[in-house]
With several copies, the nearest count.
Chain A
């Protein structure tokens, strides 16, 4: 039981939860979105700045549980500075991990601290928490790109 819990609440997650990276809304940004987990009411405002096809910045303001907060922190670490294409691939890899019901082996080279979320996949009720920031990021990035194409 404690082992099961420990697989969910890995040290990395608790560290990011207590000291989230990139938190706080910043300028400049190309798009801002507000996402809600309607199940529980967790809310997230997230900004993305895309410059020349690169995720120049991600910043956010989140109210939520350890998993959703830590996920926002890890996600920002992973995507900032990447090309949108690379970042989308990381997003895809993370999504596959989350939907794998604990059967997918995480790839540390791609996911870095994100591998700590492997245990979340075994808690279906918490998968949404881990995905909230990623979904918001994807949405915001799409909008930022749309705008930059106008």
Chain B
């Protein structure tokens, strides 16, 4: 018996209709691509259907019963999300279309007049293990404002190289943006410690929590003020919610200090042709009709995770990841990229298999019903750092079983045989 697995794994699996799907040859689906997107439990789908079939209306603007119901369902989603991440205030929760938009919202608005406007001489610090969505926005804004982009490198073990932190974080540093959990290496970064250091030099801290919120119990209120990030971004589709919705949490004063991002309906107070005034947060950053049914679905999703319990989910991930790392270690020619200690990493495990290109590994596994990802997983610089162009990634979630890991390991042995690797 593997310790730490969710006790009622069978029951949980029944909640996810797609897991019952069988593929060609009657093979069951083995979905090991949850870091890419998670599967959805029935309750999320049903909640969305009920909304569309019975309560659909636009929100806030609508004065009628359906409008009131829809508004309540939407704002209830905000309450649910706020409580899920322990946000100090529900108004600090902004809905975006995905994590990428949330990160761009911050980067993009820092180009414009305001207390934190970037300019020549200012520096933005990121890391070499970021997802492209936490690299490109900072490249764009630094290029456009004349600020300088700098970054933390990585150790050979796949951790942040903090040895030059004193050189990187200076009074020129205006923003530090980094991921909490790497989607490629699985590394968990010391967010609180880095935030504290960044705050000492007066920088804003933006945390990409796209891989953290699905896996770790996140409680913003448990951070002391100095080590609590200023912004935190994640995405609905990785927390068993739908696509089309992401979240930007921001400390109230930090959010209020940003100039408007997208302009339009819902984000205004009064519009005159000559000029406009803007609504308070959160609406100030939610221009246009928001992703209503998606927020309703996201509310049901985080409720579902809460119900299973994030502590339990985290233990399950660690148990499965530990079991996977053991199994993978038995495959000749296989090298894992990133930390090897399952208690100090997330559930995404990237690896190379000597003699077989990652694409070919993925295709062979796919014909056996195993869904993994091959490529650079939107983290090309981290791949370049380790001298590889691409890798295979398996990633588990609360519905993953040890038997599925066995199937993966078996599939990798088969792959080696098929390509006659010796």
Q: Does B252 contact A (CB under 8 A)?
A: no
Tell me the smallest distance from the CB of B26 to a CB of chain A, in Å.
Answer: 11
Q: How far does the alpha carbon of A41 sit from the alpha carbon of B72 in the complex, in Å?
A: 21
One of A58-66, A73-81, A108-116 at the interface = A58-66
A9 vs B357: C-alpha distance when bound (angstroms): 13
Q: Contacts A8-B363, A126-B359: A40 and B270 contacting too (C-beta < 8 A)?
A: no
The verdict on A104 contacting chain B, using a C-beta distance below 8 Å, is: no
- CB of A150 within 8 Å of the partner chain: no
For residue A129, CB closer than 8 A to chain B, the reply is yes
**Residues from 29 to 75 in B contacting A, C-beta threshold 8 Å:** 60-64, 67-68, 71-72
Q: Is the CB of B269 within 8 A of A42?
A: no
CA of A117 to CA of B359, assembled, Å:
16
What chain B residues lie within 8 Å of A36 (beta carbons)? 269-270
Chain B residues, Cβ within 8 Å of A38? 60, 266, 268-270, 279, 283
Partner of B363 from the list A2, A64, A68, A123 (CB cut-off 8 Å) is: A123
Measured between alpha carbons, how far is A131 from B380 in the docked complex, in Å? 22
B64 surroundings in chain A (CB, below 8 A): 125
**Binary flags per residue of B383-422, CB closer than 8 Å to A gives 1, else 0:** 1000001100000000000000000000000000010000
What bracket does the count of chain B residues touching chain A fall in?
35 or more
For residue A65, give the distance in angstroms from its CB to the closest CB of chain B: 4
Interface contact A125-B389, CB-CB below 8 Å? no
Give the interface size class of chain A.
Answer: 20 to 34
The distance in angstroms between the C-alpha atoms of A27 and B366, with both chains bound, is 41
The one of A4, A5, A43, A67 that contacts B359, using a Cβ cutoff of 8 Å: A67
Whether B68 pairs with A42 at a CB distance below 8 angstroms is no
Contact of B375 with A5 in the complex, beta carbons under 8 Å: no
Find out whether the CB atom of B375 lies under 8 angstroms from the CB atom of A40. yes
Let me know if A125 and B25 touch, CB within 8 A. Answer: no
Neighbouring A residues of B149 by C-beta, 8 Å: none
Contact of B358 among A8, A43, A65, A124 (CB under 8 A): A65
Q: Evaluate whether A39 and B375 lie within 8 angstroms (CB atoms) in the complex, with A65-B358, A124-B68, A125-B62 already known.
A: yes
The closest CB in chain B to the CB of A67 belongs to B359
- Could you say which of A63, A65, A124 contacts B72, with CB atoms under 8 Å apart? A124
A2 to B368, CA, bound (A): 9
What's the Cα separation between A42 and B357 when bound, in Å?
Answer: 10
For B277, the closest partner residue in chain A by CB is A36
B374 on the interface (CB 8 Å rule)? yes
A45-104 residues with Cβ-Cβ distance < 8 A to B are: 63-68
* Chain B contacts with A in 360-389, Cβ cutoff 8 A: 360, 362-364, 366-368, 374-376, 380, 383, 389
- Smallest CB separation, A108 vs chain B (Å): 24
Q: Cβ of A67: which chain B residues have Cβ within 8 Å of it?
A: 359-360
Q: Which residue of B lies closest to A127 (CB)?
A: B68
| B24 lies within 8 A of chain A by Cβ | yes
Inter-chain contact A65/B268, CB cutoff 8 Å: no
B389 neighbours in A (Cβ, 8 Å): 41-43, 63
* Most chain A CB within a 10 A radius of its CB, from B61, B64, B360, B364: B360
Q: Contact check, B390 vs A125: say whether CB atoms are below 8 A apart.
A: no
**Residues 4-49 (chain A) with a chain B CB within 8 angstroms:** 4-5, 8-9, 36, 38-43
Contacts of A66 in B (CB 8 A): 357, 359-360
Q: Is the CB of B72 within 8 A of A40?
A: no
* Complex CA–CA separation, A38 to B366 (angstroms): 20
Identity of the chain A residue whose Cβ is nearest the Cβ of B376 in the assembled complex = A41
- A108-150: CB near B (< 8 Å → 1, else 0) gives 0000000000000001111001000000000000000000000
Rounded to whole angstroms, the CA-CA distance of A65 and B364 in the bound complex is: 13
CA of A36 to CA of B270, assembled, Å:
7
Q: Quote the shortest CB–CB distance from B337 to chain A (angstroms).
A: 14
- Residue of B with least CB distance to A69: B357
11 other A-B residue contacts (CB within 8 Å) besides A42-B359, A66-B360: A1-B25, A2-B418, A36-B270, A38-B269, A40-B63, A40-B390, A65-B358, A66-B359, A124-B68, A125-B363, A126-B63
Identify 19 residue pairs between A and B in the complex whose beta-carbon atoms are under 8 Å apart, listed by A's number. A1-B368, A2-B418, A5-B364, A8-B363, A38-B279, A39-B61, A40-B63, A40-B375, A41-B380, A41-B390, A64-B357, A65-B358, A65-B359, A65-B360, A67-B360, A123-B366, A126-B359, A126-B363, A129-B359
